[in-house]
Amino acid sequence: MNKIKLTLAATGLNNTDNPGPGIPVIRSIKESGDFDVRVIGLAYETLEPGIYMHDLVDKVYQVPYPSEGSDSLIKRLEFINSVENINVLIPNFDAELYTFIKSSAMLEKMGIHTFLPTLEQLEQRHKVNLPEFGKQYQIDVPQSKPILNHSEILSLHDDFDYPLMVKGKFYDAYIAYNEEQVKMHFNKISAKWGLPIIIQEFVKGTEVNVIALGDGKGNTVGAVPMRKQYITDKGKAWGGITLADENMLALTHRIIKATKWRGGMELELIKTTKNELYVIEINPRIPAWVYLAVGAGQNLPAALVKLALGYPVKPFEKYDIGKMFVRYSWDMIVGLNEFESLSTKGEL
């Protein structure tokens, strides 16, 4: 098969100890062998490591934060597209998805294809709405409640037993054993991610995850379950292993079928000692550990690009069980001129 000529734009180049999925997504697409690809990195900050990985990213443009509104983002993308002629764009941050989904029709007009969930799907699975989601689709979810101020913390013991989880609307989750700890985490998370803060029942068990891709018609294109083997103090997987858990796969297929999920997804689950599965979060994008799925035989980012371009994609039927990933850190030496170029011209 001839390689598909592709100009791919991706965000999430922050390959830090709290990694964005951009670099593993790019690596997966490049290694698939299906594309003759030029990669355009879209960066928010000047020290995102992926900016300087020239073997993976051909050109980098700085883009405005989603908080500046979709108009300034679209304007910047229009300029970038006039130079680069982007075919597919993969946003990799939760916080930017709303803006990109809202702008997807406009992007399409510019010739930039995306493969994202709908706004309704995005909202439905939001941490704040997870209890409703569980009820609607008969899925076990921990009891949770959004709170907006300190006074609500005092009455939490009416609905929750300690310990409980304190979570940000996009990122961050901490366990709290008493009211004081809830207050402390409330302040820390709200300063970073805003309100509401989500209080969630603590479910005891092993944290397991599934990466999946839905075709938007109810079909699961691929799904790989994983258990984190090494977790950083930020709760991120630094090592993991693929599992053979039929229940996890069945749950994933059920959620994708019921929601007609479109795009990448990560299910965060707790498996109790009785083998019950609780959905604690549904992330509406490809997770940073995606390269494990690729290593296990399912190149989901490459499949996502094909779906975005309208190519038919055959669902993956298997993956290697017991395949592991171990993450590592690597120091790159960067010339000041490169840093200067991105800082002053917004391009590298």
Partner 1 sequence: MKLKKNIAISESGFVFDPNSGESYSLNPIGAEIIELLKLEKKSDEIQTTMLKKYDTDAASFERYYYDFIHILEQYGLVEKDTSQG
**Smaller CB separation from partner 1, 189 or 226:** 226
Angle of the 300-309 helix axis to the 22-31 helix axis, nearest 10: 80
- The nearest distance, CB 280 to partner 1, in angstroms, is 18
What is the number of alpha carbons within 13 Å of residue 165 lying toward its C-beta? 20
Q: Are 325 and 288 in contact (CB under 8 A)?
A: no
E-state strands within 272-341: 277-283, 324-326
Q: For residue 316, give the nearest of 253, 233, 254, 271 by alpha carbon.
A: 253
**Smaller CB separation from partner 1, 282 or 292:** 292
- The nearest distance, CB 329 to partner 1, in angstroms, is 24
- The nearest distance, CB 76 to partner 1, in angstroms, is 42
Measure CA 161 to chain center: 30
Contact partners, residue 236, CB within 8 Å, separation at least 6: 17, 18, 19, 288
* Nearest-angstrom CA–CA distance, 237 and 227: 9
Q: Are 19 and 236 in contact (CB under 8 A)?
A: yes
**Smaller CB separation from partner 1, 179 or 268:** 268
Q: For residue 60, give the nearest of 39, 81, 79 by alpha carbon.
A: 39
- The nearest distance, CB 281 to partner 1, in angstroms, is 19
* Nearest-angstrom CA–CA distance, 264 and 285: 5
- The nearest distance, CB 292 to partner 1, in angstroms, is 12
**Smaller CB separation from partner 1, 229 or 343:** 229
* Nearest-angstrom CA–CA distance, 50 and 229: 25
What phi and psi, each to the nearest 5 degrees, are found at residue 46?
-80, -15
User: Which residue in this structure is represented by tokens 């304190």?
Assistant: 166
Two tokens at 142? 């921990």
**Smaller CB separation from partner 1, 122 or 292:** 292
**Smaller CB separation from partner 1, 172 or 207:** 207
**Smaller CB separation from partner 1, 312 or 322:** 322
Query: In the sheet where 164-167 sits, what is the strand order?
Result: 144-147, 197-201, 164-167, 173-176
Contacts to partner 1 by CB under 8 A? 206, 208, 226-227, 229, 241-245, 321-322
The helix or strand, by DSSP H or E, that contains position 121, with its residue range, turns out to be: helix 119-124
**Smaller CB separation from partner 1, 131 or 235:** 235
